[in-house]
Structures are given as structure tokens and as C-alpha cells.
Structure 1
Amino acid sequence: MPNIAQGINKKVAFKRQTGVGVQASTSAAQYLRRKQSIFTLKRDTYNTQDEIASHQQLISERLGAQMVDGKLSGLLSPGTYSDWLSALLRRDFTAGASATAVSITVAGTGPYTLTRAAGSYLADGFKIGDVIRLSVGSLNAANINKNFLITGLTALVATGIPLNGVSLVAEGPITGCTVTTQGKKTFTPAAGQTNIYYTVEEFNTDISTSEVSTDVKVGQVALKLPGTGNAEVDFTLVGLNQTSGAVQYFTSPTVETTSNVLSTATGALILNGVQNTIVTSIDLTINGQETPMDGVVGSNSRPDIYRKKLLVSGSFSAMLSDSTIDTLFRNETETTLVVALTADRTSNADFISIVLPRLKVKSSTTDDGEKGIVGTYEFTALYNFSGGAGTNSEQTTMSVQDTLA
């Protein structure tokens, strides 16, 4: 009996290319966790369907220009898909804002305020939706090194909540504190957008077959955040070429990430500046509109992949408790959505947060039955003209913060 390839034995690895048409070198690739991945080489077909012959049968069929159609689904975890997310958003992850030697007063009962005696959160580059931590100084143990989600921001006051839900302790002013945005951030910038291509290999270890797709771009990702259960991602990728062989192409890729899968049971959701406890699910689609160019005469390869503007849209469902969300729809009132999901319930857990600084609800419907009534609301995220340096939001449609990026 021949060996039969099994999905459990397939390994998926990827590496950035230096540009289109330049296959990545064999070293320093990264294995990728997944639920499922399929990269298929597709060719245009041309036949003689429109040609008539006396025998009344099809004469021939030819294969034309090719492309790679890629699908990869997985469970969202810090660091695992950060490279692909940054490529889709067209900006690499970079460190967020920080400030040192700050005098901080902690007050409130939730939301809390972190008031500084001097300086400016805005000038330092902090934004609504950032997850920060306080460190250094003689801070109370309940306040130090704890994930704090900023829900409101002025020059001197950061308003927000601890992501693990454990109360802060009022104190201050405490001098000599450090305020740090955790991990790294990416967002679609107003200029200087990146244009990233990958080489992706699927290697079946049990039958020693390799398929290497090149000039691969991340075209779209669908994020699924259920009320209970794991956060999921579905990537759509597109490439220009694929080759097969009997030897693994990438040599000794870095092992997969080991971070915990994110769950909507741990974290927070902020809608319209207020923590929301009745949202039951969120679906978010980030579409880079990446499309292979048409074929050219004399070649079965397409020259490149062109892109259009980034589109971000989605929907969320929420238990019907008042008319607040419906009113946003009826009045065309723009709002802000922040979602932060943590890998566990500790005060300094790894996390991923997503900020849509300018969001418009475009539909509002409710269901019925012998149960709690649920409303479903579709939305579109828009470019935030008013954000940028010195303001409390990014000048972008969407930003992502990841502690392990």
C-alpha cells in the first residue's frame, strides 16, 4: 500500500520576499499554525466550444495564464499572524508610545483615570484604544504592570479600564512612573504604504512532496469573534506562481508560535466610548482588494498583482437593552469601536487589540422569539481624517496592537 498524505503531517511555512519575482531564500522561514490551508495553482482555460465541425464534438482545450489561490484558516493568537496582518494593513508593526519620569495619580472606580501632573499623553503619541502598563515608581501592586485599556484621552488624563477586570487602587501622585504602550502597533498609514510579497511552502512530510507558491500577497482576512469560543481568522491569499518537488524548500524554519488562543471571554469591547457587556459576536472583514493582472502575450505568467483601496466592514450582534445603537444608525452618527482580547486572565496577559476610530452603523435589525431579543448591526469603517500626531486617535481606518508582534 502506498503512503497516504495526512493533514496532521503537513507543514506550512512562509517568508517575506524582497520584491515581486524574487523568490525568498531557503533560510529563516517561519512555520505557521493553522486549522486548514490550501494553496491551489489555477490556469485559465480556452477551448473550441464555439467552433463547429462535422463530427459535432469538442476538438481541443488549452491552458493559459496562471495564478495561485490561497486559503488559510486558523485560531487567532498573539504574534501568530502579525506579519500577515501588517502586510494587509500596509504598514509594519512598530513600537507604540511611551513616557518616563511621569507623576501619576490613579482615581475612579471603573472607568479609572490616570492623571499626569505635567507633559502630555497626546504629544507623547498615546491614542484611544492603546493598551498601556504603568511601571517603575512606588506604585501599588494592584496598579503596576497591569494591562490598562485607554477609552478616553486628553493631554493630562487617560481614562480606561483594566483588561482583567480587577480593580485599581486609588493613589498618587506617584512620581517617576513609566507609561508604556505594550507590544507593537500597525495601521494603514496615510502615506508610505508597504507592498509585501511572500513565498509560502506546503510540505507533506509523510510522502515528501513540496508545493512552493511565490509572489503571494495577503488579499483579505475575515475575523470571527463569537460571544463564546475561540477567535478565528480566515485569510484569502493570491499569488503568481507555484512549483512542486520532492524535497522541502525551506531549511529548518522557525517553530510555530506558542501563544494562547484568544477568546472573547477575556478582554473588553468599547463602543461609543463605553464598555459594552451585551455584544454577543463580531465579524470583521479587512479587504485589501489584491487582484492578479491580466496575462501577457508569450507567457503563462501574470506580471504582478494590483491593489485597490483597503476596505473594512463587518457586523456585530448585541442583546437589545435600549435604543443607543439603533439611534447611531438612524441619525448616521459616527462612532468608535475598540476590541481587546487577552490570552488569559492575568494582569499582564498577552493580547491583541483592534481599533476602528471612525465607524458608521449602516443597518439595524432585531430578531424575535421566546428568548432575549438580539439586534444585528452592520457597519463600515472609514478613514479618520481628524486623527494623527497630537490627537487622541490614529489617522487611519483601522489599527492593531499585538504584544508579540
Structure 2
Amino acid sequence: MANVELRGLEKNFGANTVLKGVDLAIRDGEFVVIVGPSGCGKSTLLRLIAGLEPPTQGDILIEGKSALEDAPAQRGVAMVFQSYALYPHLNVFDNMAFGLRMAKMAERDIKAAVEKAAQMLGIEDLLDRRPRELSGGQRQRVAIGRAIVRQPRLFLLDEPLSNLDAGLRVHMRHEFARLHRELATTMIYVTHDQVEAMTLADRIVVLNAGGVEQIGTPQEIYDSPRNLFVAGFLGSPRMNLIAGEVAAIKDEGVRIKLVTGDEVTAAVVPGKAVPGDKVTLGVRPECLSADGLGNILTATVDVVETLGSTRAVYAMMPRADQPVCAILPVAFAVRHGDVVRLHFDPTQAYLFDGSGEAFGRNGSKTQAA
């Protein structure tokens, strides 16, 4: 296992700044998932840790020692790529054994290491096949096996499931969780898929435009997003965000007049907010119901998606930029054009100030980890 520390890590490609002063400490045996939109610097960050690119500024410490002068092979790091990167002319055994042979390991030891990894991954019957004879999931297992046999201190995984179909992605997520448990090795996993992040991570790092927006456990980030970007990025369907302004400050929270004409209350501590301040209300789709007490949003149904036991109802509100989404019981019959009144409790509301920062629900602004 290995602990990893990134200190003020920056990376420029010419005039383009890809990473901006990234600070991150990863503990031994931790599974850290880095999420963010395309182009935010996720893969570049992995390549810097692996030694495939030099940083423009900052330091990378592995086990407390700077790795900047170490070649990739000296860092004890194994990387699994999105494209699998298998040698097409070699069979599975030789693909998995390639790095060990380059390291001059004895063939007897190579055979034992490959067979052990293949058994762990359930591909022991595929060792004689070439990559073109394998499915996408089987190729991904081979790529992981090639990393496992090296017994690295640190696994780096760059969107390893993005080429797989939905059902296989779910299965491979379970496989990664099991492997992490069995190997007890530090893993840094890059993805834009928030479901992978929420289900696999010990901690999530939310990256945006080369900078860290928030670090925390999946539940911490889901429950307490520190700004509008994190609130809108993590969650499926995404959080409903509706513009408005502060109408009044009351004992029970902040009264907000929305652009839609509705007035609602958010049970948050107002901080320095005063009437007239521009704010954004946030409500998660699963917190909206078709009946109840508290706040009400009035909207006209646009699209209904039946999801088996629930329906995702998308409805338009006057002057709102986006439809509001509610996850409702499948028994709630609704169709295009119906007017619905969606209820939510003030304690389930989020509120963001004019700069996009969240008001905390515990007496202070939500802080980044």
C-alpha cells in the first residue's frame, strides 16, 4: 500500500492551464474517486502521478518521498487505461506476463503470478485467447490482471468502465469493490460517472476546470455540497436549481421569492443575507412529493419517464430556465399538460448565495474538505 500527497500541483500545456494548484492527501489503502466534467484535468492528474507527464509546478509524494525524479517504473504504480491497451498479437497470458518479463522475473514465478491473478479475476480459462477473441468485460479484466501481477503500491484507473455497456458496468463496479477489499491497495479512480463515484469511493474529489471544488465522503458531498457546481454535478437526476431573491429573514429560515412567482422557505442559517439578495434554491428530485405540507412549487408536466417502481416527472415552471424534476411513486398518474403541485419540507432545501456558495444548515457556510 502507499499514501500519496499532492502539493500545489499545476500543469500547463503552453498557454493552457490544465491543473491549478491541486492539494490532496490520500491514505494507505484508500479508494479515492476523482470526478468532474470532460476536460477538467482528471486524466492529466493521473498521468502526473504515474510519471507519464511532468508537473509544471508542485510536488508528488509517495510514501512521504518526492517521486518527481523517479521514472514511471520506479514509482510502484500500475495504471489501467480506458482503452485497455492490450497487445493484439499476444494471448492473455503473455499480455499479463509482459511487464514481469521486462523486469526479468523468472518464468516459474511469472506463471504463478499470472495464474493467481487470472483466478482472482475469473479469466483462467481465457489465457490462450487473443484480445480480439474477448468481450469488452473480458478485455478489461485482462488489463486489470496485467496491473495486479506487478503487485503495485498504487493503482491508477482512468475511466476503466466507459467502453462497457450499462449492465456490464454494474457488474464491473462490484468487481472493483471486491478487488479493492481483497488487495487492500491504494486506488485512485477517475470517472465522469457519478454512480461509479458514489458506489466505489471512500472519498470523492470533485474537480472542475483544473481546481478542486470539494473533497469528502460520498454522503458528505451529496448531503452538503459546498457550491452550485457540486450541487448540480453530483446526483442523478441532478438537483433542481431555481433562481430567486431573499424576501425575508425569519426564525424558521430564509423566505425566498422565486422567479416562478412561488414563495418558499429554506431552513438555513442566513449568514449575511438580506432581503433583495439574489439566491438560488436547490431541491433534490427525491425530496419532492405530490402531497404533504411545507413549500409548494406549481408546474406543468412536460415529460414523464416511468422507471418501474417510480416515475421521473419533468415539469415546467413560469420563467424558470430548466424543468423541475420530481421522483414520484408509479401509482401517481400524471401526463403531459397536467398541472401539479410539488411539495417539499423547508429542511430539505438548499440555498446558494449570489457567488454560488452554499449556506450551511448547521450554522455556517458549508466548507470544502
TM bin (shorter chain): under 0.3
Question: Larger % of helix: which?
Answer: 2
TM-score when scaled to structure 1?
0.22
Question: Larger % of strand: which?
Answer: 1
